[in-house]
Amino acid sequence: MEKSYDVVIVGGAVIGSSIAWHLKGVLGFTGSVAVIEADPSYAKASSALSAASIRQQFSTPENIRMSQYGLEFIRAAAEDERIGADTGFTEHGYLLLTGETGREIMEANHEIQLSCGADIALLPPEELGERFPWLNTEGIALGALGLSGEGWLDAYALMQGLRRGAKICGADYIAGRVAALDMAENRVQGAVLESGERIGCGILVNAAGAAAARIARMAGIDLPVEPRKRCVFVFDCRTPLNGPAPVPLTVEPGGVYFRPEGQYYICGVSPDEQDDRAAEDFDVDYSLWEEVIWPNLAARVPAFEAIKMVNAWAGHYAYNVIDQNAIIGPHEKIGNFLFANGFSGHGLQQAPAVGRGIAEWILYGGWRSLDLSVFSFSRIAQGRKIIERNVI
């Protein structure tokens, strides 16, 4: 049997579901929409395995504006009964720490953030010590603290809420793995599933996360996105981190981050560049905990000298190897093939904005409320990088 839809979205996690929701639930698209998801359990989806945070502390204005839209969306998500997603948004901020060598970059980033209306404060070591007496400020020149609009949430609740809302508004969800794309005259005519079922399309959106390059190759497109493994560790600390301000998501100068999670804490770090390679497995690299994370945590937070790891998991970044920024919008030659790929760890917080942007492109043929043209695929072919200096 064959079905046909006006829009087919490959990938039904938070990005794909946000696109479907914005098309059907926000903009009132009257055409037909299908979302194809290879794993409806979402057991290994990046959305479900992420550290689930949102920040405005970027150096690229477009990244800041996407997070600002995401913030508004997350705050309002529980109010829309079609989504009904109580994400438990905890607005305790990000705290990025730097030594003297990073002062100039942090100050330059701060100017950009303020120009975009972000509520970020630069704090010297003495003020950091007053707010966060549990913090060892030795070697710290500055800390950038989000006073509002930053924190963490229940990623799975947001993803399922978007999916639920999209289905209520008429989007079909199809369980299956895309095996091939039917191409003719520089257009995608349809997607063929491993089951043999063919699903015709007017527009195809690649929202396949870490598998995005596989889908792009079916259209003859070389997409520089690959899965990069990231490990998250859960630990217990018997000594509470008390102080006049709540504990933010804290990133020490070496890149190790931690934040509260209920009665515990979660933490992680990106591998060194020379060790960071494409990975298909979900095996936890416990050497990161022993050799990198725990020593740095203990040095920065004395209370963390005596902690116990209680759990760990691994997920995948959909990593853009060119510049670690998203690739969004249509292909230059295959006009009905749209990208929503390569978010490199920012996908959850940028999902609402990407959903809005792609939906508007489909309806209006261009960017409207959010101009995401800087993230076009053309920059890849032209060798234009977006240098984001706040990659975590």
Domain holding 214: CATH number?
A: 3.50.50.60
Please give the model's pTM, rounded to 2 decimal places.
Answer: 0.96
Domain limits for position 7: 2-81+154-224+322-382
352 contacts 74 by C-beta, under 8 angstroms? yes
User: Residue 232 has what DSSP assignment?
Assistant: E
For residue 135 the two structure tokens come to 């913090």
Distance of CA 216 to the CA centre of its chain: 20
Residues ≥6 apart with Cβ < 8 Å to 295: none
69 and 195 part of one domain? yes
Residue 174 falls within a domain, yes or no? yes
248 contacts 299 by C-beta, under 8 angstroms? no
Q: Give the pLDDT confidence score for residue 390 in this predicted structure.
A: 63
Q: Give the pLDDT confidence score for residue 48 in this predicted structure.
A: 87
316 and 255 part of one domain? yes
Phi then psi dihedrals of residue 255, to 5 deg = 100, -5
**Which residue type sits at 283?**
D
297 and 186 part of one domain? no
Span 348-358, average pLDDT: 97
Residue 390 falls within a domain, yes or no? no
209 contacts 221 by C-beta, under 8 angstroms? no
Phi then psi dihedrals of residue 159, to 5 deg = -60, -50
321 contacts 368 by C-beta, under 8 angstroms? no
115 and 141 part of one domain? yes
**Number of neighbours of residue 82 by Cβ within 10 angstroms:** 16
Element (H, E) at 15: helix 14-21
Residue 10 falls within a domain, yes or no? yes
Residue 391 falls within a domain, yes or no? no
77 and 205 part of one domain? yes
360 contacts 369 by C-beta, under 8 angstroms? yes
164 and 236 part of one domain? no
Model confidence pLDDT, tens digit, residues 234-257: 999 999 999 999 999 999 999 999
Final residue before a domain boundary, out of 320, 346, 364: 320
Helices (H) and strands (E) in the chain, counts: 11, 18
Residue 13 falls within a domain, yes or no? yes
188 and 46 part of one domain? yes
Query: Which has the closest alpha carbon to 12: 31, 36, 28?
Result: 36
For residue 231 the two structure tokens come to 């490990």
- 129-143, 205-219, 265-279, 334-348: least confident range: 265-279
Query: Which has the closest alpha carbon to 76: 12, 31, 21, 137?
Result: 21
Average of per-residue pLDDT values in the chain: 95
25 contacts 17 by C-beta, under 8 angstroms? no
Give me the number of domains the chain comprises: 2
Element (H, E) at 177: none
Residue 387 falls within a domain, yes or no? no
6 and 137 part of one domain? no
The burial class, CB within 10 Å (0-12 / 13-18 / 19+), for 99 is middle
Span 269-274, average pLDDT: 89
Pairing of strands 337-341, 178-184: unpaired
Final residue before a domain boundary, out of 303, 320, 337: 320
Query: Which has the closest alpha carbon to 3: 199, 203, 204, 205?
Result: 199
The percent of residues above 70 in pLDDT, for the chain, comes to 99
- Separation between Cα atoms, residue 7 and residue 206, nearest integer Å: 11
CATH number of the structural domain spanning residue 117: 3.30.9.10
Final residue before a domain boundary, out of 320, 352, 373: 320
Model confidence pLDDT, tens digit, residues 24-83: 999 999 999 999 999 999 999 998 898 899 999 999 999 999 999 999 999 998 889 999
220 and 236 part of one domain? no
**Which residue type sits at 254?**
G
159 and 268 part of one domain? no
215 and 262 part of one domain? no
Span 121-150, average pLDDT: 98
Distance of CA 97 to the CA centre of its chain: 21
326 and 309 part of one domain? no
Q: Is the pLDDT of residue 392 over 90?
A: no
- Separation between Cα atoms, residue 99 and residue 265, nearest integer Å: 24
- Separation between Cα atoms, residue 242 and residue 131, nearest integer Å: 10
Residue 7 falls within a domain, yes or no? yes
How far, CA to CA in Å, does 390 sit from each of 14, 205, 230?
Answer: 23, 28, 17
Residue 291 falls within a domain, yes or no? yes
